[in-house]
Amino acid sequence: MKSFNVPEQYRSPIVNAIKQKRKAADKMKRDYTPTILDIGTLQVILARHFGFCYGVENAIEIAFRAVAENPGKRIYLLSEMIHNPGVNADLVGLGVRFIMDTKGKMLIDWDEISADDVVIIPAFGTTLELEQILREKGIDPARYETTCPFVEKVWNRAEKIGNDGYTIVVHGKPLHEETRATFSHSKAHTPTVVVRDMEQAEVLGKYIVGALEPDTFYKTFEGQYSVGFDVTKDLERIGVVNQTTMLASETQAIADYLKSVILKHFDVAADKTAERFADTRDTLCYATNDNQGAVQGMLEQDADIALVIGGYNSSNTSHLAELCEQKLPTFYINNEHCLLSADVISHYDQHTMTELTTDSYLPKERPVKVMVTSGASCPDALVERVIQRLAILTGNEAALETLTNELATV
């Protein structure tokens, strides 16, 4: 796989040594067992896969290159490049400005943007409508486009099956940049509807079989269907694609459910499935699968707590936290500063979308066992700093230094 020129401040000697050792021993990435780091009276259980994925490293390289290649020019990001506050802050520090926020609210008026400016397309991609606005201003949206190749793969698959006569069902968060982009690209070719979760998928199933009045569809799925969508005709042949950072098992469950509903309703023989339901399993992102699989492998170990590191608006990170919290106390943090002390932690509750403070999060007994993973937009350097902070708070600085030296010689 291609390597990227990622700024040194995002790299970690400790994490890099661990990843290289695991990669050499498991080239096919089939072993999801975690790495166990014994640091004195602290044991860190580190997920097999975590941190920057291919698409994120690609986006970072392009964005920093855009800055370097255009001294003196105004440089804009259409919205947050990735969902990591540190990386976005670094770009802002270099003079990059955001045109809109993550939900599409304008921060800069389009009238301020001219053909002399540089506009970077974020890793989530963007809508065809916004691409057209840029072209009308004389800006080539492809010049510094950082759209993840795996997101583009979803778009291409949606176009292909859409041209084959299927309606597209997108599993995603309706307001997320990637889902908005995928919806835009898909509806250009075929009727498209977005489902947020299994609950909405089950409601859609009732429209497929005619158990709900067609007219109510347009209120229930307001803002989530393409113009001209005909609920009485457009759910007869479907294919499911996803926002690549969703919980892979949920996407598969939604696809399996809708497939069973449509095949039963239209009485389709097992060998005639493709007449009504398109195979789209190849649209699941490798990094999403790897990171979630690694968390499942990590959870087979015993631990006191789990720390999940990433931006609080990061979809893929939130799903890692959901997986962890099914087994043990889990704290979703965005950096090492959230570990306020050995007794107090600041963290995020993705269910209520609020920041909380929790006391006595670290047990008094030793050794303390902490599971650690991070989202696909989280730098390895940040994971290292969290481990360092844990070592300081548990009185294991010397032990961490010894481990660091040992890893340096691997």
Across the range 375-392, mean pLDDT stands at 97
Report the DSSP pairing between strands 368-374 and 42-46.
parallel
Total-model pTM: 0.92
pLDDT band of residue 2 (cuts 50, 70, 90) is confident
Cis peptide before 367 (omega within 30 of 0): yes
Across the range 364-379, mean pLDDT stands at 96
Measure CA of the first residue to CA of the last residue in the chain; give whole Å: 22
| pLDDT, tens digit, 9 for 90 and up, residues 52-81 | 999 999 999 999 999 999 999 999 999 998
Higher pLDDT, 3 or 244: 244
> Among residues of the chain, what percentage have pLDDT more than 70?
99
| pLDDT, tens digit, 9 for 90 and up, residues 181-228 | 999 999 999 999 999 999 999 999 999 999 999 999 999 999 999 999
The residues that are catalytic are 178
Question: Residue 284: is its pLDDT beyond 80?
Answer: no
Question: Residue 269: is its pLDDT beyond 90?
Answer: yes
Q: What is the pLDDT of residue 21?
A: 93
Q: Give the CATH number of domain 149-284.
A: 3.40.1010.20
d(CA 85, CA 335): 10
Q: What is the pLDDT of residue 281?
A: 73
Question: For helices 149-163 and 177-187, what crossing angle results, to 10°?
Answer: 30
Q: What is the pLDDT of residue 1?
A: 62
- CB neighbour burial string for 246-257, b if at least 16 within 10 angstroms, e if fewer: bbbebbeebbeb
**Out of 3.40.605.10, 3.40.50.11270, 3.20.20.70, 3.40.960.10, which CATH number does the structure's domain 54-136 have?**
3.40.50.11270
Across the range 339-344, mean pLDDT stands at 98
| pLDDT, tens digit, 9 for 90 and up, residues 161-193 | 999 999 999 999 999 999 999 999 999 999 999
Boundaries of every domain in the chain: 8-52+287-408, 54-136, 149-284
Question: Residue 410: is its pLDDT beyond 70?
Answer: no
In this chain, the answer to whether the domains covering 8-52+287-408 and 149-284 adopt an identical fold is yes
SS3 83: coil
Q: Give the CATH number of domain 8-52+287-408.
A: 3.40.1010.20
